[in-house]
Amino acid sequence: MQSALRNPSRAAEAAPERVLGRHGSAGGPLLVVTAGIHGNEPAGILAVQRVFATLSVHKLALRGELIALSGNRAGLERGVRYVDADLNRLWTEEHRTAAAERAPEHDSTEQREQRELDAELARCFAGDHESVTLLDLHSTSGGGPPFALMGDTLRNREVAFALGVPVLLGLEENVEGTLVGYVGSLGHVSVVLEGGQSADPRTVDHLESAVWLTLVSAGLAQAAEIPDYAEHKRRLGAVCAGLPAVIEVVHRHDIAPEDEASFEMLPGLSGFVMVRRGQLLAHADTANSRAVVAPIDGVLLMPRYQKQGRDGFFMGRAVAPRKLALAALLRRAHLERVLGWLPGVRLVDRSGDQLEVDSRIARFFSAELLHLLGYRRHERRGTVARFTRRRDRL
Ligand SMILES: [Zn+2]
């Protein structure tokens, strides 16, 4: 790992262990940190190695337990995002059921990684823990500041907002089968931190700081017990100064399978730059070079500057802080129950967990408001969209 420590753009020479480290004991809160779910993102591995080194030097006693797991070990060894399939798209019900029915010897590379990681996560979650938080460490192929991604539950907000970086909402409506989506569906707190550009040494710093801050927000330590806590907080705050606190993801550019290798972003773009509708962003040039333009005015997110994966880029819009505060208030007061009285909105059952919204009738009713109330869209038939709510465990 020495060369990778000096240069995070280089892959680790040997695959890291599945369990990267363990500190503390069951009984209190559990924080699971995953790193290297994408094999070309070794910065998270380096960050957790630093955290465990500091924990042992300072002999820090945690309330509860910190466990760090590596993700795509085969991908990390080769320095590629994935070998056969993206490990961060395999956590759907469908894939997990298929895995349970399949003999392990028929697993693809990432199916084997998932089988092992899934079993390790199950062992972690089975322990006697007060609460469970997952922090999934990533980095991006393009440049840009760190940011967090989460399913919008009130408990996820506490952990994500404690990082002091922009928080992206609504990504999971555009991306199926992520690890955080799966762990969130188990009822645990579940947040992704994108630390910055994969080869930038500062990305390791950002990810390390995020782990320290999350040890506090997840209840394993007091800020005063963490060495250099103020510096970790300052570091993330400084690099994100002036950025919107919350951004709603409203668009994903899907790269057609035949364009996966040839899709190319324009050079020099990075995450969090403002782009205008119609602005040229990329070329998809399998047959004849086709221009890809921004479909809306907004913030460019995660432009793809590597050769793998079908997420070309995402676009988002800033959410006003007062809207977010209002939504938290409405959710705590369970005001979503009145939604069924509105024209064009039908509660699928009494719980209010599922809504059908007819966009012809409920024109006043924005998807953004539903997102802020904790619903996500998961199906659309004609003009009727079905929304499902994540449960807030208060
Ligand atoms: Zn990643």
Counting runs of H as helices and runs of E as strands, what totals does the chain give? Answer: 11, 18
pLDDT of residue 6: 44
Residues 138 and 38: beta-carbon distance below 8 Å:
yes
**41 Cα–ligand 1 center, Å:** 6
Handedness of CA 323, 183, 148, 365 (dihedral sign): negative
**177 Cα–ligand 1 center, Å:** 13
**171 Cα–ligand 1 center, Å:** 13
d(CA 204, CA 272): 20
pLDDT of residue 176: 86
In angstroms, what is the C-alpha Rg of the chain?
A: 21
**358 Cα–ligand 1 center, Å:** 35
pLDDT of residue 129: 94
The torsion angle over the Cα atoms of residues 324, 327, 333 and 338, rounded to 10 degrees, is: 170
pLDDT of residue 347: 82
d(CA 32, CA 26): 12
Query: Please, what are the domains in the chain?
Result: 2-239 (3.40.630.10), 246-318 (2.40.50), 339-389 (no CATH)
Q: What average pLDDT values come out for the chain (394 residues) when binned by 10 residues?
A: 45 79 94 97 97 95 97 96 95 95 97 97 94 97 92 88 93 84 94 96 98 98 96 96 90 90 92 94 80 94 90 91 76 71 78 80 66 77 82 53
CA 345 to chain centre: 30
Residues 32 and 64: beta-carbon distance below 8 Å:
no
Helix then strand then coil, % of the chain, to nearest 5: 35, 25, 40
**138 Cα–ligand 1 center, Å:** 4
pLDDT of residue 52: 97
**96 Cα–ligand 1 center, Å:** 20
**198 Cα–ligand 1 center, Å:** 9
d(CA 108, CA 83): 9
**139 Cα–ligand 1 center, Å:** 5
**366 Cα–ligand 1 center, Å:** 30
The DSSP output letter for 387 is E
**37 Cα–ligand 1 center, Å:** 6
